[in-house]
Amino acid sequence: MNRLQQSLRQIDGKSYKAYKTIQGRFSFHRYEVIVDYVQGDPFASPSKIRIIIPDAYRKIKAEWKNDQNRKVYTEDVVARSVARAISNNSIHGKGSGKSGLIAIDAPGQEILERTAVDLDPNHITICLSIGLPANGRRINGKEAEKLFFDAIPSILSQSVFAIKDETIDQAVKLADQHQAIRHAMKENGWVSFIANGSVLPRQSGISNRPLNNAIPFQSPEANQVRINIPHQEEPLTGMAIKKGVTLIVGGGYHGKSTLLNAIERGVYHHIIGDGREYVLTDPTAVKVRAEDGRQVTTVNISSFINDLPHKQDTNRFTTENASGSTSQAANVVEALEAGAGTLLIDEDTSATNFMIRDGRMQELVVKEKEPITPFIDKIEQMKQQLDVSTILVMGGSGDYFDVADQVIMMDQYKPFNVTDKAKEIAEKNPTARTSKADQDFGKLPNRQFLPGSIQMQKGKKSKVQAKGLATVIMGRTDISLHYVEQLVDSSQTRMIAEMIRHIDQKGWLKKNQSLAELLDQIEAQMNQQGLASFAPFPNQHPGDLARPRRFEIAATLNRIRTAKVKDMS
């Protein structure tokens, strides 16, 4: 503590690069500070520090961290408390650029495994970014002292050292409840569960917080189930969506897409008070859509598209500029290749000719002239042959009534089970269209990404980094993830960027393994060695990383424009 104070006084007024001398470990009352990285100038990326708090000063009970699920929720509580304290901090440093900045990778509405806080058997580690103060490009030692000796201690006193045990208890109980719900879902063959009383609408398109005064969700009687969950006397009731084909129908602005959005976000767990904390979905559910202009590399889309003009091979389809239908076909089969068990589709973001061709159009454009086998003709095969379910928002085509196992109608944000009525309508008004599908779904892609796919060089430097939620910059190319809709946190994108670096540096693409096996290897390392094992310097501040799913990792690799891919089938 005194050593850091002396160092700051000695370098006060010197060139900013003199801050490098404070890299190292310093002891404070109740905690230690490790300065891992010092920024090059006050306008550069912030410096990185870790706060190490021994159990003796803030006890974390063994039962809160011995179970991995409980540990993630406990770390989440700590990260949120620090983020709130930083937001309320009244001690602000002065100076140029990022001077006085204090930041943590703050969680959103979802509870994600992240590197911001780490609990080991004996310590809490908190990772912060700070802006070391400067006047111009000269060190402002007095403001730096204020940052280390006033602001940070105040933040810790108002957060880590002030968290009540009851707050952590509440979070770990929620962890237990989520696991109990997931167990019931697996046991009963449900792909989604939405609890009664859930608040599904969000405040706006840019806010993921619950909408005030929204209509609470209430399950239709036909879909209502009861789940016994720990730490609660009364069973939890709500709507279960069974495996199979589920249609969500209804008029415009009645809540169809809102329900699907809640379901797609249900692959993650949500905090207490979010409104969606008891909305859970098959963790292998993937939202797919049309994505005009995306890169597709050696993907077998022949189950949906065949006999293209100019004899283009759809068994190994490659394009730098996919159409709506070819992009959606690629998105479906790539999701299946990565192991998706449920597909989530909204007709509003789908290619119409990929989803359906009615009888009149079939009569005008005969089968031999149409290369697309629409999704409606393959949906039953996916269910029967691949054990893949589909939840589909459909407002424009009643032909899907024929293939649906259940139909949920949204009316003023209230769900009604109208399966019987839909089947009755389908029987009274038989479709004029005929199925184009073959007996089998067809082969799924089985691909290997080859060495040379990852090209990080930009001039003499090697570069791969995330830019916000939806872009990864790799060398001279950008990887666009704007339509990968289940990425929910920019820290997941940062993690994927670090994974790309790690895959290249470790030579994982030199192994003769499929994409699915590569994803298995990535997940195994996250499970066994932690997220920080993918960081460039795993024994230092790991960066602001959050765990992505294998499907979003695969989606990123599939959008690399320099990818070299071998079909292993």
Residue 412 sits in the same domain as residue 459: no
φ and ψ at residue 37, rounded to 5 degrees: -145, 135
- Predicted pLDDT of residue 423: 95
By C-alpha distance, which of 136, 137, 118 is closest to 127?
118
- Predicted pLDDT of residue 437: 65
Residue 484 sits in the same domain as residue 458: yes
In a domain, 168, yes or no: no
Distance CA 240, CA 221 (A): 11
Boundaries of domain holding 202: 186-445
Dihedral angle at the C-alpha atoms of 100, 105, 107, 111, nearest 10 degrees? -160
Kindly report the pTM of this predicted structure: 0.96
Residue 13 sits in the same domain as residue 139: yes
Mean pLDDT of 225-253: 96
In a domain, 208, yes or no: yes
Reported as a pLDDT band with limits 50, 70 and 90, residue 461 is confident
Provide the CATH number for the domain around residue 331: 3.40.50
In a domain, 73, yes or no: yes
Reported as a pLDDT band with limits 50, 70 and 90, residue 369 is low
- Predicted pLDDT of residue 364: 61
Residue 76 sits in the same domain as residue 210: no
**CB-CB contact of 464 with 473 (8 Å):** yes
**CB-CB contact of 129 with 103 (8 Å):** yes
- Predicted pLDDT of residue 430: 85
Cα 532 to its chain centre, rounded Å, is 17
- Predicted pLDDT of residue 362: 63
- Predicted pLDDT of residue 378: 94
- Predicted pLDDT of residue 538: 77
Residue 139 sits in the same domain as residue 227: no
Reported as a pLDDT band with limits 50, 70 and 90, residue 160 is very high
What are the helix (H) ranges across 415-549?
419-428, 490-505, 515-529
Residue 198 sits in the same domain as residue 154: no
- Predicted pLDDT of residue 385: 96
The percent of residues in the chain predicted with pLDDT above 90, rounded, is: 87
Mean pLDDT of 360-373: 67
Reported as a pLDDT band with limits 50, 70 and 90, residue 434 is confident
Distance CA 542, CA 498 (A): 10
In a domain, 421, yes or no: yes
Reported as a pLDDT band with limits 50, 70 and 90, residue 39 is very high
Reported as a pLDDT band with limits 50, 70 and 90, residue 395 is confident
187, amino acid identity = E
- Predicted pLDDT of residue 439: 77
Dump pLDDT digits (tens) for 296-317: 999 999 999 987 776 788 999 9
Count of Cβ atoms closer than 10 Å to residue 88 Cβ: 11
Residue 530 sits in the same domain as residue 546: yes
By C-alpha distance, which of 60, 88, 264, 263 is closest to 171?
60
Q: Is the pLDDT of residue 496 over 80?
A: yes
Residue 302 sits in the same domain as residue 437: yes
| Longest CA span, the chain | 88
Domain boundary among 128, 163, 198: 163
Dump pLDDT digits (tens) for 338-356: 999 999 999 999 999 999 8
Residue 394 sits in the same domain as residue 459: no
Residue 14 sits in the same domain as residue 87: yes
- Predicted pLDDT of residue 311: 72
Q: Is the pLDDT of residue 438 over 80?
A: no
Reported as a pLDDT band with limits 50, 70 and 90, residue 546 is very high
Q: Is the pLDDT of residue 370 over 90?
A: no
Dump pLDDT digits (tens) for 211-228: 999 999 999 999 999 999
**CB-CB contact of 102 with 130 (8 Å):** yes
In a domain, 404, yes or no: yes
Mean pLDDT of 263-273: 98
Reported as a pLDDT band with limits 50, 70 and 90, residue 372 is confident
Mean pLDDT of 519-544: 95
- Predicted pLDDT of residue 133: 97
Distance CA 497, CA 484 (A): 15
- Predicted pLDDT of residue 371: 83
Mean pLDDT of 349-374: 76
Q: Is the pLDDT of residue 156 over 60?
A: yes
By C-alpha distance, which of 355, 367, 386, 240 is closest to 290?
355
- Predicted pLDDT of residue 207: 87
Q: Is the pLDDT of residue 366 over 60?
A: no
Burial classification of residue 401, based on how many CB atoms lie within 10 Å of its CB (0-12 exposed, 13-18 middle, 19 or more buried): buried
Q: What is the mean pLDDT of the chain?
A: 94
In a domain, 171, yes or no: no
**Structural domain count of the chain:** 3
Distance CA 33, CA 518 (A): 37
Domain boundary among 399, 429, 445: 445
Which residues contact residue 384 at a Cβ distance below 8 angstroms, ignoring those fewer than 6 apart? Answer: none
Domain boundary among 96, 131, 163: 163
Count of Cβ atoms closer than 10 Å to residue 251 Cβ: 12
Residue 110 sits in the same domain as residue 144: yes
In a domain, 179, yes or no: no
Reported as a pLDDT band with limits 50, 70 and 90, residue 253 is confident
Residue 264 sits in the same domain as residue 246: yes
- Predicted pLDDT of residue 436: 65
Which residues contact residue 297 at a Cβ distance below 8 angstroms, ignoring those fewer than 6 apart? Answer: 318, 558, 560, 563, 564, 565
The percent of residues in the chain predicted with pLDDT above 70, rounded, is: 97
